[in-house]
Amino acid sequence: MTDESPASGRPRGLLPDLTPWRTSRDFRLMWTAGVITTFGSFLTLVALPVQLKELTGSAAAVGAIGAVELVPLIVFGLYGGALADAMDRKLLINATEAAQGLLAAALLVNSLLPHPAVWLLYLVAALSSALTGLQRPALDAIVQRIVPRDQFAAAASLNALRYQVGAIAGPSLAGLVIAWAGTGWAYGADAVTFAVSVCLGLGLARSPAAHDAAPPSLRGIAEGARYAWSRKELLGTYVIDLAAMFFAYPAAIFPFLADDLHAPWSLGLMYAAGSVGSLLVSLTSGWAVRVHRHGLMVVLAATGWGAAMACTGLTGNIWLVLLCLAAAGGLDMISGIGRSTMWNQTIPDSLRGRLAGIELLSYAVGPQLGQVRSGAVAALASARTSVWSGGVACVAAVGLLAASLPALTRYDARRVPQAVPAADLSAAREAPAA
């Protein structure tokens, strides 16, 4: 339980605020389903590059996963945001979850063949990316409807905790499963977790679109983009996270980094280390509800993420590498809590899905591009060079972007009493940045 102040009702200690879990049945269902499906997804996240490495032996081929996932994520992320504003969000979430389960089953079947097809791995990666683009905006947008505004920061922390529980257990177990039983078992377990998640998702209350919601269209997507551009503090959260992930997300080359460090046994721990750091932040996130300068929080955390990744590449000791990765994961989680809170505080429900589509591009496209960058640099130089150089570039990029978008560091939730109504879009666009 969280120690709460009688006067404010806000937690005084470090433990997470459990109010959204206690008061919202739909939040509990989404949280539980998320833990289960995240666990399975991380099994595949580890198994797919390992299988590609075994089949091709090429760092560039493994890094190319990010390239084939990129275009579907951009296109369907934007369209998924428009869909989330135009249809029942519960239906959209469950339909895409079921489709992801079918893709995991396809990977299982392919892994059982005498000669697994490399092209199928890329095809499934692309289709899974498209489904993520369709689903994620609805998952993000539905939070505004199932918890009240004063619980947004607590909900962001609990959702982060949910993600990290699966993100730690999944990669940790994946290393053992793949080593002892092969990638097929990882894919099969992933398919089962999607089935369980769908069953839980069916219990969610309907979340229909507004009666006057327009059908998905390029015009509607453009309206969301104009709103994002008009709010420079929001724009800052997008571009800083995009830069941080592009320059300093080396997950695709972890199999090669483990080999360089003569520690192939550490691969699963490398994938899990960042999540361990994130989990520690989530478990001590009671402080987050007392933060008001969320923009500054994002900038400082993103800078720390880059510095931690630079240290990861510069050290040759596997235990220090794991420690640096854990530190990076914790800093990334702090940034994520700040971004999520800002988004829910400032974006009206009528635009929430479309803006969630844009947010998806910032925090998901960056890692895809980052995999391509890290794979290419590792192929030209070495895995360690790829990691430390990306971390240094990240620190420099975040500093330049923060200086270019002062509205982000000046953001103060105490001066943002409610989301700007969609009807005020034109006025917001013409107003000077605050």
Residue range 258-317, pLDDT digits in tens: 888 888 888 878 888 888 888 888 788 777 777 788 889 999 999 999 999 999 999 889
Q: Tell me if residue 221 falls in helix, strand or coil.
A: helix
Check pLDDT > 90 for residue 350.
no
pTM of the predicted model as reported, rounded to 2 decimal places: 0.68
Q: What's the pLDDT at 210?
A: 67
Q: How many CB atoms lie within 10 A of CB 280?
A: 16
One-letter amino acid at 390 equals G
- Burial of 394 from C-beta contacts in 10 A (0-12 / 13-18 / 19+): buried
Mean pLDDT across the chain: 82
Close Cβ partners of 149 (under 8 Å, ≥ 6 residues apart): 344, 345, 418
Close Cβ partners of 115 (under 8 Å, ≥ 6 residues apart): none
Residue spans of alpha helices (H) in 112-231? 118-141, 143-146, 152-180, 183-201, 218-230
Q: pLDDT class for 424, splitting at 50, 70, 90?
A: very low
Check pLDDT > 80 for residue 9.
no
- Element of type H or E holding 234: helix 232-248
Q: Rounded distance, CA 64 to CA 50, Å?
A: 13
Check pLDDT > 50 for residue 426.
no
Of residues 217 and 223, the one with the higher pLDDT is 223
